[in-house]
Amino acid sequence: MGIRNRYRTMIALTVQLLFTACAKSTAATDSPQQSKGLKDYFSDYFTMGVAVSPAALSGPESDLILKNFGSLTCENVMKPAPIHPDENRYSWTNADLIANYAKANKLKMRGHTLVWHRQSPAWFFKDEQGNPATKELVLKRLREHIHQVVGRYKGVVYAWDVVNEAIDDSDQKTYRETDWYKICGPEYIASAFRYAHEADPDALLFYNDYNTENPVKREKIINMIKGLLDEGVPIHGIGLQGHWSVSYPSEKQLRESIDQYAKLGLKIQVTELDVSVYPSGHNNPDDDAFTPEREQKQIDQYKMIFRVLRDYRSVISAVTFWNVSDKSSWLDNYPVPGRKNYPLLFDTNLQPKKAFWEIVNW
Ligand code: GLA
């Protein structure tokens, strides 16, 4: 081989080595320039969703949503009070806007929520004279509400949070003493699932709650669901809200909980995920900086959560974040009004945070 040919071969080999090294490094760790979205990194695991308001569906937030998520939940506008403000008046505009956007962009949609103790209009519980309504009247109204709402979004909404937060947080009581419960007893829960199934037999019907990793509350939820299943009530899934924080849940609590819920044989979805940077009980309104320590704790917690969720991919079918980015989260006003929180994977400028890269490059 002549000197010139030897040089050519050496150069070709070096180029090939460099090329292979580069290809390997991008395969192992994707960078911020990456064009894949969150949903693509998890396509072999579960659907990634996000809760939105109508305002999020235009401008840069819309681009972020379409790139990163495959499913939408209405943050508020499908709840009973906004969508059915008076007995004889439905207000469909905002919910239609989100449902039409989901349809136009081929996104899945979760319906949230048909029965809840909050954001439920007072008219449900009073008769025409202003006296407390009877159980018969309340259930009749509930059936009508569910038929209208579920019927309207049939074919767009594939899963409904039928009943939200019916279980009490205390160790003493099983059911939360809501207006629904006070008037109807626990029967309103089974009835709501039956009405939803009548309205859309193809929809997956979920019971949804928070603090689902607390062993006492967990047992109450599981017993309630077992009872519903024994009665033949059409319930298909349990929604773990996932309003978590840097201090809750622990890996052990999370694994044990998913194990227990999985034994029910229902689908499991994480329906409202966010990770507060404040540990529970930290309520100082002035201490709200996203310090490097807080950032690291949040990264560790997100990594733990997604390690566990990935391990349980055979039972978990979807993970939905509650809000799009740190620009605006309900946690900016809860539990401390006006205290900024940073609970999501995208920062206040809509850019992926370190936690994002850590969970996709696992
Ligand atoms: C609960 C509800 C949601 C939402 C959040 C906080 O988890 O299910 O609809 O209201 O609280 O905003």
pLDDT at position 341 is 98
Q: How far is CA 317 from the centre of its chain?
A: 11
Q: What is the pTM of this model?
A: 0.91
CA distance 95 to 73: 10
Residue nearest to atom 3 of ligand 1 (CA): 75
The radius of gyration of the chain's CA atoms, rounded to the nearest angstrom, is 24
Closest ligand 1 atom to residue 241 Cα is: 7
| C-beta of residue 325 within 8 angstroms of C-beta of residue 61 | yes
DSSP helix/strand/coil, 241: coil
pLDDT at position 21 is 44
Q: Which of 164, 209, 322, 341 to mutate to test the pocket of ligand 1 (most atoms within 8 A of CB)?
A: 322
Distances (CA, A) of 128 to 50, 86, 144, 184: 39, 12, 17, 18
Confirm whether 187 is a catalytic residue: no
Ligand 1 centre to CA of 5 (Å) is: 70
Distances (CA, A) of 176 to 66, 112, 167, 268: 37, 19, 5, 22
Q: What is the DSSP letter of 59?
A: T
CA distance 244 to 260: 19
pLDDT at position 34 is 62
Which two three-digit tokens encode residue 175?
């059911």
Ligand 1 centre to CA of 272 (Å) is: 8
Catalytic residue among 165, 198, 231, 251: 165
Bridge partners of 159?
Answer: 110, 204
Element (H, E) at 129: none
Comparing C-alpha atoms, which of 360, 355, 358, 352 is closest to residue 33?
A: 352
Other C-beta atoms lying within 10 Å of the C-beta of residue 49: 28
pLDDT at position 226 is 98
Burial 143-168 (b: 16+ CB within 10 A, else e): bebbeebbebbeebbbbbbbbbbbbb
pLDDT at position 362 is 85
* Ligand 1 contact via 191 beta carbon (within 6 Å): no
| C-beta of residue 320 within 8 angstroms of C-beta of residue 269 | yes
CA distance 62 to 337: 27
Which two three-digit tokens encode residue 256?
């044990």
Ligand 1 centre to CA of 13 (Å) is: 58
What is the chain's pLDDT, residue by residue, as a tens digit (362 residues)? 455 555 554 555 454 444 434 443 444 567 655 689 999 999 999 999 999 999 999 999 999 999 999 999 999 999 999 999 999 999 999 999 999 999 999 999 999 999 999 999 999 999 999 999 999 999 999 999 999 999 999 999 999 999 999 999 999 999 999 999 999 999 999 999 999 999 999 999 999 999 999 999 999 999 999 999 999 999 999 999 999 999 999 999 999 999 999 999 999 999 999 999 999 999 999 999 999 999 999 999 999 999 999 999 999 999 999 999 999 999 999 999 999 999 999 999 999 999 999 999 98
* Ligand 1 contact via 210 beta carbon (within 6 Å): yes
Q: Which of 272, 274, 330, 334 to mutate to test the pocket of ligand 1 (most atoms within 8 A of CB)?
A: 272
* Ligand 1 contact via 209 beta carbon (within 6 Å): no
3-state DSSP helix/strand/coil % of the chain, to nearest 5: 45, 20, 40
Bridge partners of 71?
Answer: 49, 108
pLDDT at position 25 is 42
Confirm whether 165 is a catalytic residue: yes
* Ligand 1 contact via 161 beta carbon (within 6 Å): no
Ligand 1 centre to CA of 239 (Å) is: 12
Closest ligand 1 atom to residue 164 Cα is: 8
Regarding beta strands 71-74 and 47-52, do their DSSP bridges make them parallel or antiparallel, or are they unpaired?
Answer: parallel
Ligand 1 centre to CA of 144 (Å) is: 24
pLDDT at position 35 is 81
Ligand 1 centre to CA of 210 (Å) is: 9
DSSP helix/strand/coil, 47: strand
| C-beta of residue 51 within 8 angstroms of C-beta of residue 243 | no
